[in-house]
A = this chain, B = another copy of it.
Amino acid sequence: MEVKNKYVTINDYINGTPMESDFSICEETISLSSGEDNMINVMVVKNLYISVIDGSGVGRVVESAHPDFKTGDLVTGRLHWGEYTVIKGVGVEFDYDTILIKRLELDPLGFPLSYYAGSILGSSGLTAYGGFFKVCQPKKGDKVFVSAAAGSVGILVGQYAKLFGCFVVGCAGTKQKVDLLKEKLGFDDAFNYKEEIDLNSTLHRYFPNGIDIYFDNVGGEMLEAAIENMNIFGRVAVCGVISEYTDKTKGPKPDMIAVIYKRIRIEGFLSVDFKDIYQEFISTTVHHLQTGKMQAIEDISYGVEGIPTAFVDLFRGNNVGKKVVRIAED
């Protein structure tokens, strides 16, 4: 079999905030003859949806010499930024994505396939679920602050926290996002951090009785301000540091004396560590979706040509909810 594959390349090491001009669209021809000696365990996947931040996506197997996958299987996992993904080698490691592959083979449960492309039923969902329930160890009534609350993970953390019985305030960077959080997603309150001058006093205003849990997606000054406003035994789940990815000098200088006397726990995590609660995450989230208690908010771009802008937009804060690129119709 031979197919044309359009894909995205990065021109050079990106210094600072990425721009569209850092990327190029290329084309190659992919050929695969199943069963040849040097092609053991190789398969070609036609990409359907791609999540640009972690490269996870959903695709359909179009050619396979891998014993566990056959042509027509719906799979999810780390896919390339292109029309096709060639997965090579003996002992390909799928990690927890293997579970998703099997699930999708059986039944996507009637949900859009995009939900599995690093979205609410994929890595963002698992990150939010595990980060909130395992790392933050919430108690009912806890006062929860979520930064980048209209982002792919924040938007889910806030919903889980509300359903669990917490008081939840989110921050975001536009009025549209703030309105979405308050009016559609049930956050108790939300604010536009770009309109605030002193984050310390802003957080004090929204949390006059202090913060118990801070789900951190941004790092930097917001983390410092959250620690200032934290209650004793407060927990900080460090999920992302968008303010630092492009400028390391913006890293936080948390008040460690406060960390001691308030016994604050600050903990980083990755969704790959939550394999053991994957089934619980899926069944809980599917239930919330089916009963209308949770909403998936997706921001969809189209085509391989749409990938660079979709990626760059994440750093500009242009996405609302999960940024997914639809590469092809199934």
Q: Mark A232-248, 1 if CB is under 8 A from B, else 0.
A: 00000011110011001
Question: Complex formed: what's the CA distance from A185 to B254 in Å?
Answer: 34
For A254, what are the chain B residues with a Cβ–Cβ distance below 8 Å? 251-252, 254
Shortest A137–chain B CB gap in Å is 12
Whether A264 and B267, one on each chain, are in contact in the complex, defined by CB atoms closer than 8 angstroms, is yes
Q: Mark A258-274, 1 if CB is under 8 A from B, else 0.
A: 11111111111110010
Q: Is A256 an interface residue (CB 8 A)?
A: yes
Question: Complex formed: what's the CA distance from A251 to B240 in Å?
Answer: 22
Q: Is A92 an interface residue (CB 8 A)?
A: no
Whether B260 and A266, one on each chain, are in contact in the complex, defined by CB atoms closer than 8 angstroms, is no
Question: Complex formed: what's the CA distance from A209 to B81 in Å?
Answer: 35
Give the residue among A251, A260, A264 with the most B Cβ atoms within 10 A. A260
Question: Complex formed: what's the CA distance from A238 to B267 in Å?
Answer: 13
Nearest B residue to A255, CB-CB: B251
Question: Complex formed: what's the CA distance from A269 to B234 in Å?
Answer: 11
Chain A residues engaging chain B, CB cutoff 8 angstroms:
219, 223, 238-241, 244-245, 248, 251-270, 273
> 22 pairs across A/B with beta carbons < 8 Å?
A238-B256, A239-B260, A240-B260, A244-B256, A244-B257, A245-B257, A248-B255, A251-B254, A252-B253, A252-B254, A252-B256, A256-B268, A258-B268, A260-B268, A261-B270, A263-B269, A263-B270, A264-B268, A265-B265, A265-B266, A266-B266, A267-B267
